[in-house]
Chains A and B, each alone.
Chain A
Amino acid sequence: MTLTVRWLRRIAGIVPFGVYVTLGLLLPMIAVAIGAFETNNGGFTFSNVSAATHGIYLKGFWQSIVLSLLTSIIPGILGLLVAYAIFTAKRGKVLRQVAITAAGVFANFGGVPLAFLFIATLGSSGLVSQWLTSLGFDPYAHGFTLYSLTGVVVVYLYFQIPLMVLVILPALEGLRPAWREAAENLGASTWSFWRYVGGPVLFPSFLGCVLLLFGSALSAYATTEALTNGTIPLTAIQIGSFLNGNVIAGQENIGKALGLGMVVIIAVAMIIYVVMQRRAARWLR
């Protein structure tokens, strides 16, 4: 009796989280997984999954993965450098507050307003593009266009770098100055400090943050949609056409099969993350 009560008391704290995960993640995921294998009449079929893994949709997965990798690794590294600069700055307190606040704002700035901001600056007749042209360098004459995968990467950097700064700063703050001093007292160079102390301490958190960025990039929707109108095959937008639009009707289940594909991609990314995390954190054990 007392045992059950104690057990109940112990798990009480986790119940809200459990309910939240079940309602917000688990149930929708099950619904998507079931729908992916259903015909419109509710029968079983592989045709949705088959459609989702061929042709333009396969290409969509591929481009989505490439885009997400680029926009998680590049901002991962740049964000780490920026965060480190903030962390080590002299009279850092004010700067840190300002930087964190700004990063919080920029990381959450997205969607149609962000797309418009870039169209008005880096678009084909945008302010910056025209200014560069007047200086004798027309970016559009040199192969750059905002309305391409490259352009989308540039736009994503805008919110991915601040996001990285936000999430990696706490890990940097866990890096005690005393460790650096101890390493230097033992004769370590900057390189060997980072190679043998700082790097190994930070790497597991760094990986976690990059994974977060990967997920954020994979699922980003509104910005890309406003920028490219579906002219670049990306899975999130293709799902939108099936579930959201008023043109294609009655093929929602292919959209669900695409959604299932995204779940698989994230699952694979998680597995890679766990394996690397184990390896990176081996020294902890």
Chain B
Amino acid sequence: MAAAAAVAGSLLLTVGCSSSGSSSASGSSTSGGTNWATATSASAGGGMSALIAAAKKEGTLNVITLPSDWANYGTIMKDFTAKYGIKINDANPDGSSQDELNAVNQLKGQSRAPDVLDMGTAFAVKGAQSGVLAPYKVATWADIPAEAKDPNGDWFADYGGYVAIGYNSAKVKTPPTSFADLLKPEYKNEVAINGNPTQASAAFSAVFASALANGGSLDNITPGVDYFKKLHSVGNFVPVTASAATMESGQTPIIVWWDYLLASEIGSSVKTLKIVIPSDASYAAYYDQAISKYAPDPAAARLWEEYLYSTTGQNLWLQGEARPIELSTLVKDGTVDQAAYKALPPAPAGNVTFPTQAQQAAAENIVSQQWSSVIG
């Protein structure tokens, strides 16, 4: 605890020096005492150039669990370092969301503690509840849908996608466009999901989406389980764990999965893959960004977020076949990377809604009770 206070104190000093040195920039009237660890936006801390100067002074940024081949993070990190001369340490690239929260608590006060986090919403909410996240709002805060962020700024959605139908157009002659279509006899023995919904969140989301398509709601996932029962009874459901291998070998020509994972994981080996978001259900989920309250590099952490939510950062995610949260703004402004944008199916109109924690928990219980009665 004392160590944490000392670190925070010294950071305060260095940051103070740097921003007073660059007070001529941006005409800001803020005095030199910006404490970036508590700044809730760039403008509150003295503007972008003050932030950049402070971050450069810190010189390092600690990220955690970012695989370089996931959502284009390898390129993103390289570009950030090239642009600002800030060195990035990526700890535990293959770790989980839980590992991130553990690191925040266990490394508290150390210079190698994580600055920024990228995790699943359940874990972001958990982190916010335990008070380890520092609220921050990026410049483009207004472009993030209200349902996809904590109103206080503790966490905010970064990238994700929609539940989609991916099919091998070489084998599936009539393109399915909805969950209702998948029940047609022509798709006999063709439809699969990529896991057990009581274990894999992608498969769970497929059940949630099918519930929305069949009279269910975020409060009622049961029609989704019933849908898969029906899909099985008409003989269309192949209950194996679908992958690029099962699609290539012809066992599962149709897979219900995240659109961006279909594009990256299957599209790379099945060139005839087509992805469509079902017309009768749009169900999306996003990962979230958050800044650790104990970030040893608080200015760099905030600059990283500003960078990720700039046009450059958003387009880099898109190039990694992940759907950035501000995609619709990019499209509207014409700043989107067209080639990357066309690799994903167009997003459905209307606002995205996400289940609350209570709805999610209730749905999980129902699926864990009912899923194994789909066949046996």
Contacts and interface: CB of A to CB of B under 8 A. Distances in A.
A139 interface: no
A53 interface: no
A43 to B, nearest CB: 21
Nearest to B196: A230
A41 interface: no
Given A120-B251, A247-B204, A230 B246 contact: no
Which interface class (under 10, 10 to 19, 20 to 34, 35 or more) fits A? 35 or more
B122 interface: yes
Given A230-B199, A246-B199, A247-B204, A56 B249 contact: no
Contacts of B374: 231
Interface residues of B, number: 37
Contacts, number: 112
A119 B246 contact: yes
B197 to A, nearest CB: 7
A124 B189 contact: yes
B198 A116 contact: no
A226 B375 CA distance: 15
Nearest to A250: B361
B193 A229 contact: yes
Interface stretch (A80-88, A197-205, A237-245, A260-268): A237-245
A16 interface: no
Given A124-B238, A241-B196, A241-B198, A228 B204 contact: no
A135 to B, nearest CB: 19
Nearest to A240: B199
B132 interface: no
B250 A241 contact: no
A148 interface: yes
Contact of A116 (B189, B201, B245): B245
Given A119-B251, A229-B203, A246-B201, A56 B369 contact: yes
Contacts of B250: 125
A106 interface: no
A148 B375 contact: yes
Contact of B240 (A123, A148, A244): A123
B240 A230 contact: no
Contact of A245 (B120, B199, B369, B375): B199
Interface of A: 55-56, 59-60, 63, 112, 115-116, 119-120, 123-126, 140, 147-149, 225-234, 237-238, 240-241, 244-249
